[in-house]
Amino acid sequence: MQATCSHLHNLPGTGGSETAPASHCAHTVRMTGEGSCHHPGDIHIQISPVPGECGESPSPRNLRSGSQSNTQGCIHGRLRSHSHNEARQPDDATMEPGENGSSSISEFRCLFHWLQKSLPYILILCVKLVMQHITGISLGIGLLTTFMYANKSIVNQVFLRERCSKVQCACLLVFLAGSSVLLYYTFQSQSLYYSLIFLNPTLDFSSFWEVLWIVGITDFILKFLFMGFKCLILLVPSFVMSFKSKGYWYMLIEESCQYYRTFVPIPVWFRYLVSYGELGGSVTGWSLGILLGLLYLILKLLDFFGHLRTFRRALRIFLTRPSYGVTASKRQCSEADDLCSICQAEFQKPILLICQHIFCEECITLWFNREKTCPLCRTVISDHVNKWKDGATSSHLQIY
């Protein structure tokens, strides 16, 4: 068909891109004018991506700016049409433009239609799945709400400082310990607590959901454990441990918790990955399992070094307790009108930052738990945010 065509076809490689739009557009105009041109493939030119520019008379501006897109669009359209012609009847080819133009929409509509039709069946399946895993799901919801409640209470108590209620802290501690013990007592037969200390609990290692369940539960229990430590710190009277050093302890506990939780799921997942599965004891299944296990270990090792840096920084902060500034003198305080701009009261243990602004020690410590800069002039004072000094626990679920 290409060989017999007498028009100025712009085939790839034969025409320069500068002259392409002109020749193509001339062809289009002539074609629509004549009625005798009978190769249906060329009809496709009219649905090329830039039909508006094709129809225009070629001006010098169009030649320069639109030449590349025009050429590509038209070649594309024409190559498609010629290849279609080999397989299809000319009648079919005329049906093409509508379908082609809205193919993505019609695909979407098709998918939507399928979803609409199969929605009742999906719902039935969902209900069945929920019924099957009702224990696991309700347990997960229970653990999540327990975690959120305890986390919020601890942050509240830390925020209250001297006015925090010791009774509530003790209750929280008992609550966390009780729920952990109850959970492990309920699933005594599986000895889930083994996975807390890198041992493998007794479970079916070929079941993905069971492994996921174990890892999730262990993660929550570890969070509860470290939250319990935070409650203990809260219970320490303030004349033994100042509010400021308690903040450093919360930070250290939280960083250790996150660090430890990264490694706890390793034995369980490793056992799961190297287990034979459906391939049985064949060499392929065995070597694939080993390969996956090794890949997992390598990823975990990389994770280890990434976390090590964070942990060491936290440890350094904990040990050195860096100060944000120097103690301000009486004269400097009176120059600042003896008024802390955070608490709007007289300075308590005034601290002079490097930007010469003065704040109470407690006020500015609380501020730097969230920010890196001076609250007045935005000078960068600290190179990191002491995220976990407010007693919060990360809600990140370490499931891998």
Choose, by CB under 5 A, the member of 355, 371, 372, 392 that binds Zn ion: 355
390 touches 362 (CB < 8 A): no
Q: Mask of contacts with Zn ion, 137-156, x by CB under 5 A?
A: --------------------
Instruction: Kindly state whether residue 255 participates in binding Zn ion, applying the rule CB under 5 A.
Output: no
Residue 59 or 334: the one with the smaller Cβ distance to Zn ion is: 334
Count of residues that bind Zn ion according to CB under 5 A: 13
Q: Is 29 in the site for Zn ion (CB under 5 A)?
A: no
Give yes or no for residue 381 binding Zn ion (CB under 5 A).
no
> Which tokens go with 347?
């300075």
Residues listed for the chain: 400
397 touches Zn ion by CB under 5 A? no
- The yes or no reply on residue 236 touching Zn ion (CB under 5 A) is no
For 210, phi and psi rounded to 5 degrees? -65, -40
Answer yes or no whether residue 26 interacts with Zn ion by CB under 5 A: no
Main-chain phi, psi angles of 201, to 5 degrees? -70, 165
Query: Is 22 a binder of Zn ion (CB under 5 A)?
Result: no
- Residue 109: both structure tokens together: 């509509």
Residue 342, interface with Zn ion (CB under 5 A)? yes
Cα dihedral value 204, 207, 213, 214, nearest 10:
30
Bridge partners, residue 373, by sequence: 380
Between 357 and 389, CB nearer to Zn ion: 357
Rounded CA separation 327/360 (Å)? 10
Residue of the chain from 79, 343, 392, 397 that contacts Zn ion (CB under 5 A): 343
Vertex 324 angle, CA 319 and 328, to 5°: 125
CB closer to Zn ion, 111 vs 377: 377
Dist. CA 287–CA 270, nearest whole Å: 14
The answer to the question of residue 7 lying near Zn ion (CB under 5 A) is yes
Structural element, H or E, at residue 326 = strand 326-327
376 binds Zn ion (CB under 5 A): yes
Which of 78, 62, 65 lies closest to 27 in space, CA to CA?
78
The region of 179-187, 228-236, 309-317, 358-366 touching Zn ion under the rule CB under 5 A is: 358-366
Interface with Zn ion includes 44 (CB under 5 A)? no
Q: Which stretches of the chain bind Zn ion, using CB under 5 A?
A: 5, 7, 42, 340, 342-343, 355, 357, 360, 363, 374, 376-377
